[in-house]
Amino acid sequence: MDTRRAPRAVIDPKVRKVGFFAPPEPSQSALPDPIPLPSSSLSPVMIPPPRHSSENLLPHARPPASVVSGASSVSIEGSVVAGGSYGSSSELFPAPMSPASSSYSSSRFVGGGDGDYFLNGVAVASPGRGGGKTAASFPRGGFELPEAKASSVPASELTTVSVVNDSSLGIRERDKADNGRGSALEVKDQTANSKQKKDKTTKAERRALQEAQRAAKAAAKAEGNKASGTVTSGNAKPAKATKPPQKVDNASAAASEKKGCDRPPEKDRKKDVPQPRMQYDDQSRVEKAKRRAVVKQTEARNRVELFRHLPQYEHGSLLPDLEAKFFQLDTVHPAVYKAGLQYLSGNIYGSNARCIAMLQAFQDAIRDYRVPPEKTLVRDLTAKISSYVSFLIECRPLSISMGNAIKFLKTRIAKLPLTLSESESKASLHSDIERFINEKIILADKVIVKHAVTKIRDGDVLLTYGLSSAVEMLLLHAHDLGKQFRVIIVDSRPQLRGKILLRRLVEKGLSCTYTQINALSYIMHEVTRVFLGASSILSNGTVYSGVGTACVAMIAHSFRVPVLVCCEAYKFNERVQLDSICSNELGDPEVISKVLGREDVNYLDGWANTENLQLLNLIYDATPSDYISMIVTDYGMVPPTSVPVIVREYRREQLWI
Amino acid sequence: MADPKISAYYQTRMAHFGAVTNDWLAQAQSASAITTTTPPPPSSPPTAATLSDPTYQKPSFSVIDEFNRWRKQPDLAEAVAAIRALAAVIRSSMATTMMQLEIELKSASDSLKSWDTTSISLTAACDLFMRYVTRTAALEYEDFNSAKSRLIERADKFGEISYTARKVIAMLSQDFIFNGCTILVHGFSRVVLEVLKLAAQNKKLFRVLCTEGRPDRTGLRLSNELVKLDIPVKLVIDSAVAYTMDEVDMVFVGADGVVESGGIINMMGTYQIAMVAKSMSKPVYVAAESYKFARLYPLDQKDLAPALRPVDFGVPIPSKVEVECSARDYTPPQYLTLLFTDLGVLTPSVVSDELIQLYL
């Protein structure tokens, strides 16, 4: 068991703010990220070689609001400009310099830099949206400012460095929102240095700089707006340019001071794959993601500080909205849309069910898919699947089983021989998915039940927690075999899934006891075996399962009752997690404040208005491997220390499929 | 009560349970003088003509007989004898397809297992042998005869490895025995004896504490052997283990079987000693050959297949009194420090790794 409970002081410089900000929050240190981040040549810790003295003073971090206004004024004045062109998200760098004098063109305004705009938390004055947008491309804008104002500088003087720095920074987070930006980055002479290193400046210095810039902008504003011959961020495909900025209040309210700099730089290099575990405390990325989002969610208020890195939205408002849009969304296949809605509403729950629903939706989507002309099936289909996946993530964050299934699907798509025709490829994928579901989930469950049932003897008292499909199958099978045992079902609010299990078992004639988790230590002395399900098992043997499982396992261990976890091998993950905080899912806090059927328990009504009160509804927790006696998988019964062995063998086997 | 000489009554009992005593050893040695250790010359494979002859009677080959023949050698572990017997099955088989051969092997293995259902190492060795020998996928693509000879080759290799396992283990464990150390030994394991023998031959100075090992009196037998090797031996009764644990540097035990969790199944009393050793921070070393790795996973003591042995208290006991007569117990992996096997020096968690690789 991990005895270290003190918050970690180590900050991974690649991921976290590097010294410009407020003391780091302990919970947000090292993010176990399974996706290897492509290393960026620009890392926040690298000190960029100074180009211009002025640049050195420029903050590389996202400048606070004030700068934004500066930027906007600049944009208005249009003398200098650089918009970030995210145009091609893959292109890390700024672009073509606009000829000579750059000015922000109105075209820059396209593509909604709203997010950033808001990020900067500034209500940009006059230029309003336009300004805002520019602002978005903002940081660049900010940097350019000095140049710009400095002398209504000719492009040549403008340095790319800072801009570049910024852009690169910005890109990191914004890469996905290619469309968002829309402003071309004016490349100044030094376009050459695409990836400039950021220079580190102190906060005070930056502030001073920004003030100066703002002043300059104000002056420059007078000169009027010149349309900047911007380059197109043309490549910026403003995908959802038309989407009005969302949740303005939130964004602006959110302190931009918060983490301007806090962009995990290397994280979002991959454009087509949405970051599966985005850190939601990073405003810029949240905004970008929101702009691209299909599902509009409002962020919850009163969020628990320790869990700010996880997304939390207000529930209940989206369903009607999404249902209405069912027939309008052409970017998302209806089957996938339906699956997403079912996740959002909570109709489908449990990692196996969610995974199967997702895979079947993908089967439908693949069946209806047609390769657009001039594109290859492999790439285009992979991109499409990725977009579906990001839609599903917006509805509800992926479970690890779903993540593994997606990896499998993408590997299969990538391995399609090029000689196959479109329909053959689709048929092959269809059967691959079918086989995956059958072998890895359905048959695996049967094998697990066969192994685990040998551990149930007559006279046993079995305890289980919540609703796990594997454990339910096991208990029913053991009962069918005629074994004499009784079951204790432990349940917990707010989901109360144990009741479903209770009903199903009682229907089949098993003798059951039902209790809540607060009675666990009271009842544990009668128990002979504990059977638990898992959402995933991590490489160090930690079991990642519904919240409350860790309690059950720990109490069973202290009573020396063996704990058996039933988990299919496809859910195993090579990640390592030491606590339940760094990666989790937050549910709707409302349900905590209400007790079903007890209207008189209304003490927490209006909790959202109380500043000092935050409600936390965690969905998952991590059980250390010391409390687990055995894991039953389709590979047999293994000790928790053997999970990495199975992960290794499983990956190897996958290559041969 | 310990007699200086083992009573005849006890001798009979020991013979029943297949335990090795000096007298038995003497008998066995005289018997083994007749048989050699080399494998019997392979009987000439029946020609196609004879096979196709409908009146040809297949010579009966009893794997149990073969097994018993091998077992007569005192030094040979039961499991190794089983492996050799199974190798002989392949050699003398008249099957013409792989499938048939596998079926024959399976039935031979089943009959061996049923000969003694409580022996874990026998069962484990048979399973491992089956798995090891029939594992190659390439066998499908070759013609039968070359596949068969390949199988025989692998079977012999497996037998060789198992036979020399003890020597390998003895060699590996030499580093852990230092001059002036005190070793506590429980149960009579030929592997552990080999380890100590080699250490003595290497002129290391150490002394051994033997637990009495009731009701088998294994301690007595072991101390006999050790005295012959000029190793200073001290006998302690089972209840005095905690008392003497302070002066002990390490604990050495053998194993009847090594289970998937990394724990071991061994003679009754091992669990107790391991627990005491752990609480006093003394290392517990297990010397076990790799064919003893079994695909069992006991959760607690009662999860094992029972192996009973009547306990003789020396005085008559009233009939209403129950006696716990289980002969072995399960030691969970957290009490064990290292396993010395012919695969190397392993930690308990590696056992599962090996099993998964073999059985996947």
Query: Mean of the per-residue pLDDT values for chain B?
Result: 80
pLDDT digits (tens, 9 = 90+) for A331-352: 788 899 889 888 888 888 889 9
- State which residue of chain B sits closest to A653, comparing Cα positions: B360
Q: Name the pLDDT band for A511 (thresholds 50, 70, 90).
A: very high
- Residue B71, sorted as left (phi over 0), alpha (psi -120 to 50) or beta, turns out to be alpha
Q: Does the structure show a pLDDT above 50 at B97?
A: yes
Q: Classify the C-alpha dihedral A335-A336-A339-A344 as positive or negative.
A: negative
Dihedral pair phi/psi, residue B338, rounded to 5°: -140, 155
Q: Name the pLDDT band for A459 (thresholds 50, 70, 90).
A: very high
Residue A630 in contact with partner chain B when CB distance is under 8 A: yes
Q: Name the pLDDT band for A589 (thresholds 50, 70, 90).
A: confident
Most confident among A10-14, A124-128, A240-244 (mean pLDDT): A10-14
> Which pLDDT belongs to residue A620?
93
Degrees (nearest 5) of the Cα angle A621, A625, A629?
115
Residue that has been written with the tokens 């392949």 in this structure: B90
Q: Which of A51-60, B256-265, B346-355 has the lowest mean pLDDT?
A: A51-60
The number of C-alpha atoms within 13 Å of B63 and in the hemisphere containing its C-beta is 25
> Which pLDDT belongs to residue A366?
92
pLDDT digits (tens, 9 = 90+) for B264-278: 999 999 999 999 999
Does B82 or B250 have the greater pLDDT score?
Answer: B250
Q: Name the pLDDT band for A385 (thresholds 50, 70, 90).
A: very high
Q: Which of A105-109, A520-524, B142-146 has the lowest mean pLDDT?
A: A105-109
The burial of B34, by beta-carbon neighbours within 10 Å (0-12 exposed, 13-18 middle, 19 or more buried), is given as exposed
Q: Does the structure show a pLDDT above 50 at A297?
A: yes
Residues of A in contact with B275 (CB under 8 A): none
Does A267 or A223 have the greater pLDDT score?
Answer: A223
**Which candidate from B260, B357, B359 shows the least CB-CB separation from A639?**
B260
> Does A645 contact B262 at a Cβ distance shorter than 8 Å?
no
Cβ neighbours of A170 (radius 10 Å): 27
> Does A642 contact B356 at a Cβ distance shorter than 8 Å?
yes
Residues of A in contact with B258 (CB under 8 A): none
> Which pLDDT belongs to residue A655?
57
> Which pLDDT belongs to residue A626?
92
Query: Mean of the per-residue pLDDT values for chain A?
Result: 69
Q: SS3 for B5? A: coil
What is the DSSP track for B182-237? EEEEES--HHHHHHHHHHHHTT--EEEEEE--TTTTHHHHHHHHHHHTT--EEEE-
- State which residue of chain A sits closest to B299, comparing Cα positions: A562
> Which pLDDT belongs to residue B66?
77
Does A27 or B216 have the greater pLDDT score?
Answer: B216
DSSP B313: -
Does A58 or A199 have the greater pLDDT score?
Answer: A199
d(CA A22, CA A39): 26
**Which candidate from B299, B303, B353 shows the least CB-CB separation from A642?**
B353
> Which pLDDT belongs to residue B139?
54
Does B217 or A205 have the greater pLDDT score?
Answer: B217
The burial of B117, by beta-carbon neighbours within 10 Å (0-12 exposed, 13-18 middle, 19 or more buried), is given as exposed
Residue B333 in contact with partner chain A when CB distance is under 8 A: yes
Task: Tokens for A20, please give them.
Answer: 């410009």
Does B208 or B357 have the greater pLDDT score?
Answer: B208
> Which pLDDT belongs to residue B130?
81
Residues ≥6 apart with Cβ < 8 Å to B72: B28, B31, B32, B35
Q: Which of A474, A497, A501 is nearest to A485 (CA)?
A: A474
Q: Name the pLDDT band for A5 (thresholds 50, 70, 90).
A: very low
Q: Does the structure show a pLDDT above 80 at B48?
A: no
Residues of A in contact with B353 (CB under 8 A): 642, 645
Across the range A440-456, mean pLDDT stands at: 94
> Which pLDDT belongs to residue A111?
38
Residues of A in contact with B332 (CB under 8 A): none
Q: Which of B90, B82, B136 is nearest to B110 (CA)?
A: B82
d(CA A352, CA A442): 9
Q: Does the structure show a pLDDT above 70 at A6?
A: no
Q: Name the pLDDT band for A22 (thresholds 50, 70, 90).
A: very low
Q: Which of B131, B261, B296 to mutate to test the interface with A (most CBs of A within 10 A)?
A: B261
Q: What is the dihedral of CA B45, B48, B49, B55, to 10 degrees?
A: 80
Q: SS3 for B258? A: strand
Catalytic site includes residue B256: yes
> Which pLDDT belongs to residue A47?
52
Q: Does the structure show a pLDDT above 80 at B133?
A: no
Residues of B in contact with A649 (CB under 8 A): 356-357, 360
Residue A637 in contact with partner chain B when CB distance is under 8 A: yes
Q: Does the structure show a pLDDT above 60 at A87?
A: no
Across the range A554-572, mean pLDDT stands at: 94
Q: Name the pLDDT band for A298 (thresholds 50, 70, 90).
A: low
Q: Which of B353, B354, B359 to mutate to test the interface with A (most CBs of A within 10 A)?
A: B353
Answer whether B231's CB lies under 8 Å from B223's CB. no
Residue that has been written with the tokens 């580093």 in this structure: B175
How far the first Cα of chain B sits from its last, in Å, is 50
> Which pLDDT belongs to residue B24?
52
- State which residue of chain A sits closest to B358, comparing Cα positions: A649
> Which pLDDT belongs to residue A318?
66
Does A103 or B248 have the greater pLDDT score?
Answer: B248
Does A524 or B133 have the greater pLDDT score?
Answer: A524
- Residues shown for chain A: 657
d(CA B84, CA B128): 13
Residue A631 in contact with partner chain B when CB distance is under 8 A: no
SS (H, E, C) A2-60: CCCCCCCCCCCCCCCCCCCCCCCCHHHCCCCCCCCCCCCCCCCCCCCCCCCHHHHHCCC
The burial of A480, by beta-carbon neighbours within 10 Å (0-12 exposed, 13-18 middle, 19 or more buried), is given as exposed
d(CA A75, CA A183): 10
d(CA A511, CA A500): 15
Across the range A510-520, mean pLDDT stands at: 95
How far, CA to CA in Å, does B17 sit from each of A530, A586, B110? Answer: 38, 62, 21
Q: SS3 for B149? A: helix
Does A103 or A575 have the greater pLDDT score?
Answer: A575
Active-site residue (options: B65, B116, B249, B256)? B256
pLDDT digits (tens, 9 = 90+) for B166-189: 899 999 999 999 999 999 999 998
> Which pLDDT belongs to residue A319?
67
> Which pLDDT belongs to residue B258?
94
Q: Does the structure show a pLDDT above 90 at B20?
A: no
Q: Does the structure show a pLDDT above 80 at B358?
A: no
Answer whether A388's CB lies under 8 Å from A362's CB. yes
Q: Which of A171-185, A430-444, A568-582, B13-27 has the lowest mean pLDDT?
A: A171-185
Q: Which of A287-291, A345-349, B146-150 has the lowest mean pLDDT?
A: A287-291
d(CA A341, CA A348): 9
Q: Name the pLDDT band for B12 (thresholds 50, 70, 90).
A: very low
Across the range B247-260, mean pLDDT stands at: 94
Most confident among A257-266, A309-318, A435-444, B3-12 (mean pLDDT): A435-444
Q: Which of A55-64, A389-398, B140-149 has the lowest mean pLDDT?
A: A55-64
> Which pLDDT belongs to residue A280?
64
Answer whether B194's CB lies under 8 Å from B169's CB. yes
Model ipTM value: 0.74
- State which residue of chain A sits closest to B304, comparing Cα positions: A455
Find how far residue A319's CA is from the centre of its chain.
21
Q: Does the structure show a pLDDT above 90 at B307?
A: no
Angle between helix axes A160-174 and A283-292 (nearest 10 degrees) is 60
- Cβ-Cβ contacts under 8 Å between A and B: the total is 44
**Percent of chain A whose pLDDT exceeds 90:** 29
Does A430 or B146 have the greater pLDDT score?
Answer: A430
Residues of A in contact with B356 (CB under 8 A): 635-636, 638, 642, 645-646, 649
Residues 590-629 of A with CB under 8 A from B: 629
> Which pLDDT belongs to residue B317?
85
Residues of A in contact with B127 (CB under 8 A): none
Q: Name the pLDDT band for B61 (thresholds 50, 70, 90).
A: low
Across the range A128-136, mean pLDDT stands at: 39
